Structure 1
Amino acid sequence: MSGPPGGERLRTAAVVPVRGHAALLDGALEALRAQTLPLDEVVVVDDDPQPSLRLPAPVRVVTSRGAGPYAARNLGVAATDADVVLFLDARSRPRPRWVERTVAAFADPGTGLVGSDTLVRGGSSLAERASEVQQFASLDKYVRAPFFLPYLPTCNLAVRREDFTAVGGFSTVRSGGDADLCWRVQRATGHRMAVVEEVLMEWVPRTRWRDLLEQNYRYGRSHHALRVDWSDRGLDVREPLPPWRLLARTAKAGLRYGAAVPRGADARAQRFVALAGSCFDWGYWSAHRAGRAASAHSERRPG
């Protein structure tokens, strides 16, 4: 279970899914080319329904035709025979020692998953400033104080290929597949998740405030789905806040944002994070409501 026999060097591959963000991809590939430990392969998965991405060798391009980001990652892994697969996004900007420091952690045969801290960059727009404040990819949220088992986001995650194969790869969901994979690997293989305690990855945030709110809404829905999927393994499905409380919380966040507008960009960004949090809560509520409706419909169907 420790990789190639005879102490041979582990073969490495990076898998990058992309759809609608081809302009961001160049930055990710440039950062991969600048690594102190070169990768053996780089696989870009074009997830556009009508794929048209063309990249020069040695980068390989495979297509998933709109299957979704986690299905795309599964196809990317299938396209390589690497011993260790490193996942990142088109928005990911690995620092030069990312591959070197990440792969070194797999020298321990009991390690199945590796990650490091990720710094979300800032910028001039409201969404970029708020994302910098929110720091959604911080290890504090995933490892140091997880809501269940620790896990790592796929913008900065490496996995031993045999472990990835043993659990059947990612679940093909829209969001939350990273937590599900990490949890399944830890439980099914007994291998540990190792963390490199330094910032080895930067991430380019969205520039439009609507996109940031949609991201948080989607995360709320996927959070509910994770709780449901893992409810038989110890994760509770907590009740969402009632709509009147969600409305009150959203209105309060909106008023505070309005009051912060005259105080400058930094104050607006701080208050906008609370609005994004409300979107997360609404996403969770929406998924919970849809699940209860589906359950009630199933119970009403004749047997």
Structure 2
Amino acid sequence: MREETATSPVRRRPRSAAVIPVRGHAALLEGALAALAAQTVPVDEVVVVDDSPTPELVLDAPVRVVHSAGAGPYAARNLGVAATDAEVVLFLDARSRPRPDWVQRTLERFADEGVGIVGSDTLVRGGNSLAERASEVQQFSRLDKYVAKPFFLPYLPTCNLAVRRTDFDAVDGFSTVRSGGDADLCWRLQVATGHRLDVVPDVLMEWVPRDEARQLLEQNYRYGKSHHGLRRDWSDRGLDVVPPLPAWRLLVRTGKAVVRFGAALPRGGRAQAERFVALAGACFDWGYWSAHRRAAGERTADPAR
């Protein structure tokens, strides 16, 4: 009697593309492209979206370059996706430094047809400047902030995010906002398709922080504004619009943060970086307060809103 042998079908790896929007960071982009070139499993295509008002990016690397004429980071990503026929799109930015197995381990998760979004843990690198050291302390892109303890549905940042192309097209891609489009996309994908967000629990991505203190404070202020925008836009689907702290309390909190930062010694130590993170947190709260106040003004001007 002949013995039957069972063979498992070979699963085809989905065609993939990495999409990177960039504006004025050509030197940083080189590091991201070098990290992509060192992957154990390469992406099938790399699409760089030059979001400068006028085209200025010249690349020798074998990548496709499209131009979005200053449309903004999320509109740029939409154009990047439109330029490829990939089945899975991996998003990163010029500051992203994927570790060698990032593409391989990310694509493996899409073997489960119930998965529509995939990401992994991201480690923000440190450095010598105050902003770099504070960013290393803050670790704004770690999974526990997005998946383990989300303030609504789980989501992933676009510095380390992969989506199934059919799902992306089903919700017409990113909303063209300045900040917060990553959360909005992940939420709409989960609601519209019923597909899950899955994560590789290891650090597969590193991220190069801003090196100017002012830029880090502005980033946190912008995140505060977008946080309010997300709450407002999703309020009809169960997300509460939490009132901000009153201005006088924010002034007191900010003043205390400034005093504590000024007293932090030694200069260049971890204590100083931690105190600067507290100051950045105050900027986040001011951004939220500003967006809330603006929304209240719009409702007063237009009672039908």
* Same structural fold, with TM-score higher than 0.5 when normalized by the shorter chain: yes
What does 1:16-31 align with in structure 2 at a 5 Å threshold? 16-31=20-35
| Off by >4 Å, runs of 4+ in structure 1 | none
2:64 — aligned with what? 60
Unaligned runs of 5+ in 1: 1-5
Q: Deviations over 1:227-262 (max 9, x none)?
A: 000000000000000000000000111111111144
CA contact (8 A) 2:225 2:290 kept: yes
What does 1:141-290 align with in structure 2 at a 5 Å threshold? 141-262=145-266, 264-290=268-294
Percent sequence identity is 75
CA contact (8 A) 2:157 2:182 kept: yes
1:46 — aligned with what? 50
| Count of residues in correspondence between the two structures | 296
SS at match of 1:143: coil
Q: What TM-score does the superposition give when structure 1 sets the normalisation length?
A: 0.96
SS at match of 1:86: strand
The correspondence for 1:136, drawn from 135, 140, 154, is 140
Q: Distance in 2 between matches of 1:240 and 1:127?
A: 26
Residue 23 of structure 1, CA deviation: 1.4
Q: What TM-score does the superposition give when structure 2 sets the normalisation length?
A: 0.95
Q: Distance in 2 between matches of 1:57 and 1:205?
A: 24
Higher helix share: 1
CA contact (8 A) 2:51 2:70 kept: yes
Residue 20 of structure 1, CA deviation: 1.7
Q: Distance in 2 between matches of 1:112 and 1:263?
A: 46
CA contact (8 A) 2:13 2:107 kept: no
Residue 56 of structure 1, CA deviation: 2.6
Code of the residue aligned with 2:218 in structure 1: it is E
Residue 300 of structure 1, CA deviation: 9.3
1:89 — aligned with what? 93
Code of the residue aligned with 1:181 in structure 2: it is L
CA contact (8 A) 1:126 1:265 kept: no
SS at match of 1:66: coil
Distance 1:241 1:160, change over 3 A: same
Indicate whether 1:8 and 2:12 are aligned. Answer: yes
Indicate whether 1:104 and 2:87 are aligned. Answer: no
Code of the residue aligned with 2:180 in structure 1: it is G
Q: Distance in 2 between matches of 1:107 and 1:231?
A: 34
Output the aligned Cα RMSD. 1.3
1:122 — aligned with what? 126
SS at match of 1:50: coil
Larger Rg: 2
SS at match of 2:158: coil
What does 1:28-39 align with in structure 2 at a 5 Å threshold? 28-39=32-43
Residue 263 of structure 1, CA deviation: 5.8
